[in-house]
Amino acid sequence: MIENQERFNKISGAVFTATGSFIPSLCVPNDAFLTSRFYNTDGTPVGKEPQKIIEKFKEITGIAERRYGTQNQKASDMGFLSAGAALSSSGMDKEKLDYIIVAHNFGDVAYGSNRTDMVPTLASRIKHRLQIHNPDCVAYDLPFGCPGWLEGIIQANYFIRSGDARHCLVIGTEMLSRVIDPHDRDSMLYSDGSGAAIISAPDTPGAGIIAHKTQTHALDDAMLLKMGQSYHPSSENDENIFLKMKGRKLYEFALTQVPLVIKAALDKANLHIRDINKVLIHQANEKMDVAILERLFKLYNEADIPGNLMPMTISKLGNNSVATIPILLDLIRNGKLKDQEIRSGDKVLFASVGAGMNINALVYQF
Contacts with ligand COA by CB under 6 A: the residue count is: 20
**Closer to ligand COA by Cβ: residue 53 or 323:** 53
**How far apart (Å, rounded) are the C-alpha atoms in residues 344 and 362?**
17
Give the pairing of strands 347-354 and 278-281: parallel
**Bridge partner residues of 55 (DSSP):** none
Q: Which residue is nearest to ligand COA (CB)?
A: 247
With vertex at residue 250, the alpha carbon angle to CA 266 and CA 219, rounded to the nearest 5 degrees, is: 80
Residue window 13-42: x/- pattern of binding to ligand COA, with contact defined by CB under 6 A: ------------------------------
CB of 321 to ligand COA, least distance (A): 6
What stretches of the chain show up as alpha helix (H) in DSSP?
Answer: 2-10, 50-61, 75-90, 122-130, 148-161, 247-268, 286-299, 314-317, 324-333
**How far apart (Å, rounded) are the C-alpha atoms in residues 133 and 94?**
9
CB of 312 to ligand COA, least distance (A): 14
Question: 10, 248, 338, 343: which one contacts ligand COA (CB under 6 A)?
Answer: 248
**How far apart (Å, rounded) are the C-alpha atoms in residues 65 and 67?**
7
Q: Please give the residues from 141 up to 160 whose contact with ligand COA meets the rule CB under 6 A.
A: 146
Q: Is 186 in the site for ligand COA (CB under 6 A)?
A: yes
Candidate ranges 68-76, 99-107, 127-135, 242-250; the one touching ligand COA (CB under 6 A): 242-250
Q: Please give the residues from 288 up to 317 whose contact with ligand COA meets the rule CB under 6 A.
A: 288
Q: Is 106 in the site for ligand COA (CB under 6 A)?
A: no
Question: 250, 317, 349, 361: which one contacts ligand COA (CB under 6 A)?
Answer: 250
Q: Is 354 in the site for ligand COA (CB under 6 A)?
A: yes
Candidate ranges 12-20, 96-104, 195-203, 281-289; the one touching ligand COA (CB under 6 A): 281-289
- Coil, strand, or helix at residue 138? strand
Concatenating the DSSP letter of every residue in 160-222 gives: HHTTS-SEEEEEEEEEGGGS--TT-GGGGGB-EEEEEEEEE--SSSSSEEEEEEEEE--SSSG
Report the interface residues with ligand COA, using CB under 6 A.
53, 56-57, 60-61, 146, 185-186, 188, 245, 247-248, 250-251, 254, 284-285, 288, 319, 354
